[in-house]
Structure 1
Amino acid sequence: MFFSVVIPVYNRSDLLKNAIESVLLQTYKNYEIIVVDDGSSIDTFKAVRPYLSKINYIKISENKGVSFARNVGIENSNYDFIAFLDSDDIWLPNKLKLQKDFMEKNCFLICHTDEFWFKNGRFVNQGRKHEKYGGEIFSKILDFCRISPSSVVVHKDIFKHVGLFDVGLPVCEDYDMWLRIALHYSIGYLPIKTIIKVAHDGHQLSLNTPYMEYYRLLSLSKLLKFNFLNETLKKSAIIELERKFRIVLDGLKKKNI
């Protein structure tokens, strides 16, 4: 297996170095690194200059969002398996090797893993509500995003089937993608922590975007317009759609909107 590692970045040149280094330290070496600069207003090129012989650096002229950047990375990849890494996260050294072995053994075309969480200078525990799943998991990931992009490896053929990331979603684009994939594919889950997911207060879209449930609601509404869902999955999606609608409505009432 050969991997194309896609790292989108926007104004995180100080953190980007750690992400790149964590790929270069992988025990499994069959990969390429694609860094997609999403129109950063700071000099990201200066940060990646020492790595130019080891990466493919793509500069987008203006900021178009993480979905657009990931799609550019996918479209410029040379290998069949795409591995995503957010610029503020870090891979542990055996990440690719563990997923390669797991996917080959179980014939998965997509796989995600467990993760460490690091916030405010310390590791924090995940709550039970963040439990992760593998297999036919569409109904289990309707509530919120349970799959971290930095842990995912996915075969490019899947994108040919379900489409690329939705550039119309400023957030929850990963939630939207994993749902679309889960409709058609069994998703492998490796219950080993292979990444460090780093939270930076004030720098994450998910922490600074109001009405997150609104965008999940949009994603579910979009899915229900198509006839991909069988009756069981459709029922689960409608129940969750109604729950999210009530959450959004209550939020608007509290703000007198």
Structure 2
Amino acid sequence: MSELTVTVIIPAYRAARTIHRPIKSLLAQTRPPDEILVIDDGSPDDLNAALSTFPAGRITLIRKSNGGAASARNLGIEKAQGELIAFLDADDYWEPCKLDRQLEVLRAHPEVALVASRYHCETPDGGRTGPYPEIAPRDLGRVLIVSGESSFELATRIWTGTVLVRRSSLGDERFVSGLEPAEDRDLWVRLINRKPVYFDACPMATLVLEPGSLSRSSIDVDCGNMLRVVRRHAGLLGPKGLRKWEAQTFGRWAGNLLIQGKPRDALRYAVARLRRKPFAIGGWWIVAKSGAVSFLFRVARGEK
């Protein structure tokens, strides 16, 4: 049986300072990737100079006009030669055995469309947290087939930096531009519904929390686009699941705005959460912190 070939796609914008981190982790793999594509998404810094410190021929730099992470990853998919596709942001890194472990799974389970794993987070001060996500032990280290709301929930727990997916399973599915940073969750929902997937219990990657990185954006953009993703999959979720995920998104939105010192904005989304889940304690807590009088006026006016 011939060895499966692997392409790793790295979207990069203003990444000259950090690009060494993912590249070093790829070159240090016990089973290195066959192809590394760095997609320069119209970056104003000198990415080429940063990459010139690595061995010639190991990395392909592809330039495009700025269009966001989704369009950069999609271009990488179109250019990739590998039978398997992996993704890594320009400030994150893998454990040395990441590809080896995941290839072993895909060889043993040819029916599996996608392998993902848990991961750590690294804070700006060098601290390390995790592993994430919290997932039922019974769902780790085995082949899963999920559908409906279960596939949506699992997809939201997949961090793209841990994924190794078969090109044949991707087919024509692509990331949707304009949904960043929730575009990857949207793709994984579409991909894993009723398809076999495998979630490794061992953390195989580290997400580095750097200001300005591709996966870290304002709470309004993050939650707003996550809400769009939820509603895109309303048919999959069903009425009850739709209310649950809308409420969860509004709750996270409200909580983060409250932390940012924006109680009036937080109240708006707390109200939206309570309209979907009236007995959600967290929603009422935010109402109490934000100002109950304003809340009552909003309810009286029927505002969402």
Normalising by structure 2, what TM-score? 0.73
Give the structure 1 partner of residue 10 of structure 2: 7
Instruction: Say which is worse superposed, 8-17 or 22-31, in terms of deviation.
Output: 22-31
Root-mean-square deviation (CA, aligned residues, Å) is 2.7
Give the structure 2 partner of residue 38 of structure 1: 41
The alignment status of 1:146 with 2:157, answered yes or no, reads: yes
The alignment status of 1:243 with 2:252, answered yes or no, reads: no
Question: CA contact under 8 A between 2:98 and 2:205: conserved in structure 1?
Answer: yes
- The AA in structure 1 aligned to 2:40 is D
Unaligned runs of 5+ in 2: 269-304
The higher radius of gyration belongs to 2
Give the structure 2 partner of residue 182 of structure 1: 192
Query: Quick one: distance in 2 between partners of 1:39 and 1:237?
Result: 39
Question: CA contact under 8 A between 1:36 and 1:73: conserved in structure 2?
Answer: yes
Give the structure 2 partner of residue 28 of structure 1: 31
Query: Quick one: distance in 2 between partners of 1:32 and 1:204?
Result: 22
Question: CA contact under 8 A between 1:220 and 1:237: conserved in structure 2?
Answer: no
SS of equivalent to 1:13: coil
Q: CA deviation at 1:220?
A: 2.1
Query: Quick one: distance in 2 between partners of 1:35 and 1:75?
Result: 13
The alignment status of 1:71 with 2:82, answered yes or no, reads: no
Rate the CA distance shift 1:123–1:244 in 2: closer, same or farther, 3 A: closer
- The AA in structure 1 aligned to 2:218 is N
Rate the CA distance shift 1:246–1:116 in 2: closer, same or farther, 3 A: closer
Query: Quick one: distance in 2 between partners of 1:48 and 1:6?
Result: 15
Q: 1:125 aligns with which of 130, 145, 156?
A: 130
The alignment status of 1:106 with 2:109, answered yes or no, reads: yes
SS of equivalent to 1:15: coil
SS of equivalent to 1:187: strand
- The AA in structure 2 aligned to 1:95 is K
Normalising by structure 1, what TM-score? 0.85
Q: CA deviation at 1:214?
A: 2.1
Number of residue pairs matched?
248
Question: CA contact under 8 A between 2:16 and 2:46: conserved in structure 1?
Answer: yes
Unaligned runs of 5+ in 1: none
Give the structure 2 partner of residue 53 of structure 1: 57
Question: CA contact under 8 A between 1:136 and 1:186: conserved in structure 2?
Answer: yes
Q: CA deviation at 1:19?
A: 0.7
Q: Which has the higher contact order (CA 8 A, sep 6+)?
A: 1
Q: CA deviation at 1:74?
A: 0.4
The alignment status of 1:115 with 2:119, answered yes or no, reads: yes
Give the structure 2 partner of residue 212 of structure 1: 222
Rate the CA distance shift 1:91–1:126 in 2: closer, same or farther, 3 A: closer
- The AA in structure 2 aligned to 1:19 is P
Q: Which whole-Å deviations, capped at 9, do the CAs of 1:220-245 have from their partners, x for residues lacking one?
A: 222236xxx4xxx5356423344247
Rate the CA distance shift 1:29–1:39 in 2: closer, same or farther, 3 A: same
Q: Which whole-Å deviations, capped at 9, do the CAs of 1:161-180 have from their partners, x for residues lacking one?
A: 5x100012132111111111
Query: Quick one: distance in 1 between partners of 2:70 and 2:219?
Result: 16
Equivalent pairs: percent with the same residue?
24
Question: CA contact under 8 A between 2:182 and 2:225: conserved in structure 1?
Answer: yes
The alignment status of 1:84 with 2:87, answered yes or no, reads: yes
Query: Quick one: distance in 1 between partners of 2:117 and 2:157?
Result: 10
Rate the CA distance shift 1:155–1:239 in 2: closer, same or farther, 3 A: same
Q: CA deviation at 1:193?
A: 1.6
Query: Quick one: distance in 2 between partners of 1:57 and 1:44?
Result: 9
Q: CA deviation at 1:27?
A: 1.0
Question: CA contact under 8 A between 1:214 and 1:248: conserved in structure 2?
Answer: no
Query: Quick one: distance in 2 between partners of 1:143 and 1:105?
Result: 22
